[in-house]
């Protein structure tokens, strides 16, 4: 009878995660796949995974990916995990300060007030590094209410009556002034040479795209996806940067635009960061093809 091999203890796990910096992805995939709708349980599991990766220089990526995942399930926990991402990012050798995509931000923040409040929390945290303070402030993002101002209708009517004559006179003056200007312009143009108005339109190449028509991908986005397909869906970030610059755009701007365009169809990010590379999930790629 074969003896069951015991699982590694915490100290051994920490050492294994430190030696294999991508090992965390296996556990994270397990957590996200088995998500049971309990945001608190998921968040606690991610924090525990982060603790085991305390010596892993990629530990911050665990929380960034977790924040993106939770954006679809629990907004508050998504922001909570993003603060943890910043916590570990600030402790790393290089402060990457990766931003959530615009599509995810639109999902997280329904009002400008919510976004501004969270930006204040982030800025204060970057300055004071007080993790507990920042985490405890997250719940207030969605609790912020606009002050209701009650207007005195009677006072408004009195003011309107007092100034009604002035408003009418001003409107009449503006109409006369506009009329005179228009007449002068017409006379001046009629005495001059004939003006030819040319409306230029961008030439569009009509070609059969392999991608879904409803995505309305731009040529640069299509070229980028085709480039991924030619490279087995893994390309170094440095190569994408060169490619983007040669087409007059920024690397992050290009990747975010593709993710934003495909997000509603996939309900997830098409292009992911993987250390120094960009990768595409082949299953997602197949879903955006016309087939």
**In this predicted structure, what is the pLDDT of residue 144?**
56
**In this predicted structure, what is the pLDDT of residue 183?**
40
Can you tell me the mean pLDDT for 210-229? 91
Question: Residue 149 pLDDT more than 60?
Answer: no
Report the range of poorest mean pLDDT among 15-24, 134-143, 144-153.
144-153
Establish if 115 belongs to a structural domain. yes
**Residue where one domain finishes, among candidates 108, 140, 172:** 140
**Beta-carbon count within 10 A of 89 CB:** 19
Do 110 and 220 belong to one domain? Answer: no
Establish if 158 belongs to a structural domain. no
Can you tell me the mean pLDDT for 144-163? 56
Distance CA 15, CA 43 (A): 23
**Percent of the chain at pLDDT above 90?**
45
Distance CA 62, CA 31 (A): 11
Q: Confidence band (pLDDT; 50, 70, 90) for 204?
A: very low
Report the range of poorest mean pLDDT among 33-47, 76-90, 102-116.
102-116
Q: Confidence band (pLDDT; 50, 70, 90) for 181?
A: very low
Establish if 207 belongs to a structural domain. no
Q: Confidence band (pLDDT; 50, 70, 90) for 180?
A: very low
Distance CA 291, CA 58 (A): 37
**In this predicted structure, what is the pLDDT of residue 76?**
94
Do 37 and 136 belong to one domain? Answer: yes
**Percent of the chain at pLDDT above 70?**
75
Q: Confidence band (pLDDT; 50, 70, 90) for 190?
A: very low
Distance CA 52, CA 14 (A): 5
Question: Residue 275 pLDDT more than 90?
Answer: no
> Angle at which helices 39-52 and 10-19 pack, to 10 degrees?
80
Domain count, the chain: 2
Do 122 and 19 belong to one domain? Answer: yes
Q: Confidence band (pLDDT; 50, 70, 90) for 118?
A: very high
Establish if 87 belongs to a structural domain. yes
Residue with the two structure tokens 């879903």: 287
**In this predicted structure, what is the pLDDT of residue 1?**
45
> Angle at which helices 237-246 and 251-266 pack, to 10 degrees?
100
Question: Residue 58 pLDDT more than 50?
Answer: yes
Establish if 243 belongs to a structural domain. yes
Distance CA 253, CA 242 (A): 13
Do 20 and 105 belong to one domain? Answer: yes
Which residues pair with residue 278 across a beta bridge?
235, 273
Question: Residue 188 pLDDT more than 60?
Answer: no
**Is residue 215 a contact partner of residue 262, using CB atoms and an 8 Å limit?**
yes
Q: Residue 289 has which token pair?
A: 């093809």
Can you tell me the mean pLDDT for 203-225? 80
**Residue where one domain finishes, among candidates 114, 140, 166:** 140
User: pLDDT tens digit string along 80-111?
Assistant: 999 999 999 999 888 888 888 888 888 899 88
Question: Which of 242, 233, 240 is closest to 256 using CA atoms?
Answer: 240
CATH classification at residue 242? 1.10.10
Question: Which of 38, 25, 28, 43 is closest to 82 using CA atoms?
Answer: 43
Average pLDDT across the chain, whole number: 81
Establish if 176 belongs to a structural domain. no
Do 124 and 30 belong to one domain? Answer: yes
Question: Residue 196 pLDDT more than 70?
Answer: no
Q: For the chain, what is the HEC assignment? A: CCCCCCCCCHHHHHHHHHHCCCCHHHHHHHHHHCCCCCHHHHHHHHHHHHHHCCCCCCHHHHHHHHHHHHCCCCHHHHHHHHHHHHHHHHHCCCCCCCCCCHHHHHHHCCCHHHHHHHHHHHHHHHHHCCHHHHHHHHHHCCCCCCCCCCCCHHHHHHHHHHHHHHHHHHHHHHHHHHHHHHHHHHHHHHCCCCCCCCCCCCCCCCCCCCECHHHCCCHHHHHHHHHHHHCCCEEEHHHHHHHHHHCCCCHHHHHHHHHHHHHHHHCCCCEEEECCEEEECHHHHHHCECC
Establish if 136 belongs to a structural domain. yes
Establish if 199 belongs to a structural domain. no
**Residue where one domain finishes, among candidates 100, 122, 140:** 140
Question: Residue 163 pLDDT more than 60?
Answer: no
Domain that holds residue 227: 213-287
**In this predicted structure, what is the pLDDT of residue 97?**
87
């Amino acid at each position: 009878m074969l003896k069951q091999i015991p699982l590694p203890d915490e100290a051994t796990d920490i050492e294994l995660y430190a030696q294999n910096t991508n090992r965390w992805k296996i556990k994270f995939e397990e957590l996200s796949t088995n998500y049971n709708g309990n945001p608190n349980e998921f968040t606690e599991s991610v924090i525990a995974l982060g603790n085991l990766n305390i010596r892993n220089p990629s530990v911050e990526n665990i929380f960034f990916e977790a924040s993106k995942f939770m954006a679809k399930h629990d907004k508050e926990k998504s922001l909570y995990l993003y603060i943890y991402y910043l916590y570990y990012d600030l402790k790393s050798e290089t402060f990457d300060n990766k931003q959530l995509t615009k599509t995810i931000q639109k999902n997280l923040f329904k009002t400008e007030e919510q976004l501004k409040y969270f930006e204040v929390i982030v800025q204060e945290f970057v300055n004071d590094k007080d993790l507990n303070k920042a985490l405890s402030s997250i719940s207030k993002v969605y609790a912020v209410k606009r002050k209701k101002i009650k207007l005195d209708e009677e006072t408004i009517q009195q003011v309107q009556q007092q100034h009604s004559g002035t408003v009418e006179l001003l409107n009449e003056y503006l109409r006369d002034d506009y009329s005179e200007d228009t007449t002068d312009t017409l006379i001046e143009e009629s005495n001059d040479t004939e003006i030819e108005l040319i409306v230029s339109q961008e030439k569009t190449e009509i070609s059969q795209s392999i991608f879904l028509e409803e995505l309305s991908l731009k040529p640069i986005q299509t070229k980028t996806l085709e480039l991924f397909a030619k490279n087995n869906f893994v390309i170094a970030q440095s190569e994408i940067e060169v490619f983007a610059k040669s087409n007059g755009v920024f690397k992050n701007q290009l990747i975010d635009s593709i993710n934003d365009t495909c997000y509603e169809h996939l309900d997830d990010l098409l292009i992911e960061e993987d250390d120094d590379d960009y990768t595409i999930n082949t299953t997602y790629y197949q879903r955006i093809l016309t087939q």
